[in-house]
Structure 1
């Protein structure tokens, strides 16, 4: 059974009763420029690469995509749409998509500027690799002990 594309665990605390997906929709609409278009585009690519992805809304307004842990976040700034991969330093990046936050030991980011295009095939491969990495490190469910 597939997980839903939306989740609500963070939305109730952070933004009333709206689902994270609705909040992301709102952010895209609110931006109303190339940043909204790019955020919508990468969101679609993430969903294509991992149909079981869960969307979250964390840290008072940051779109987050998860599958067995955080895959990446999607922040929007005046000059860039920044996609930060939580475990990016552990991912192979043969297409050299990572172009920001390169000095850290854990995260890596992709900064996309107005007019730039993203290598969609390589981006989806990076998403799938992040999901695989998360799944390989996922903690197994705790077994319930049975009392005699």
Structure 2
């Protein structure tokens, strides 16, 4: 994708959500891109039927925020200078026996996992959390 006159991204209208997420990972080109790619793979392993979306696109973030859904939002993958944040839409309703949630703990609905450079990811615990989020989405009318 190339920037055109006016700063828009040529080809974005035709790009699939998965292609936009690929582009976001490439754009980051550092530990954040590697981390986002890794958690994306874990999400896909945990739920092979997951649907990738990109939401909240704006001029300051033309590629938007990666979103993983299955009968509703499972989680989002935002990137900041110092972290990759996985926000679970219904995280407050999920059991978290391995205490992965370490951010947005005060809210009544969402919970998040902030992953910083060098942090270890408990892959099995994260996949269990993804599966629990899917089950919760599927259990609600």
TM-score range, shorter chain: 0.7 to 0.9
Q: Which residue of 1 aligns with 2:110?
A: 107
Q: Which residue of 2 aligns with 1:30?
A: 27
Post-superposition offset of 1:77: 0.1
Query: Where in structure 1 do 4 or more consecutive aligned residues deviate above 2 Å?
Result: none
Post-superposition offset of 1:117: 1.3
Deviation per residue, 1:52-82 (Å, 9 max, x gap)? 0000000010000000000000000000000
Structure 1 position 90 matched with structure 2 position 89: no
Q: Distance in 2 between matches of 1:133 and 1:100?
A: 20
Show structure 1 runs of 5+ residues with no match.
1-14, 140-148
- Secondary structure of the residue aligned to 2:98 is coil
Q: Which residue of 2 aligns with 1:55?
A: 52
Q: Which residue of 2 aligns with 1:8?
A: none
Deviation per residue, 1:64-109 (Å, 9 max, x gap)? 0000000000000000000000000000000000000000000000
Q: Distance in 2 between matches of 1:19 and 1:117?
A: 30
Q: Which structure would you say has the larger Rg?
A: 1
* TM-score, normalised relative to structure 1: 0.83
Deviation per residue, 1:109-133 (Å, 9 max, x gap)? 0000000011000000000000000
RMSD: 0.5
* TM-score, normalised relative to structure 2: 0.87
Report how many aligned residue pairs link the two structures.
Answer: 124
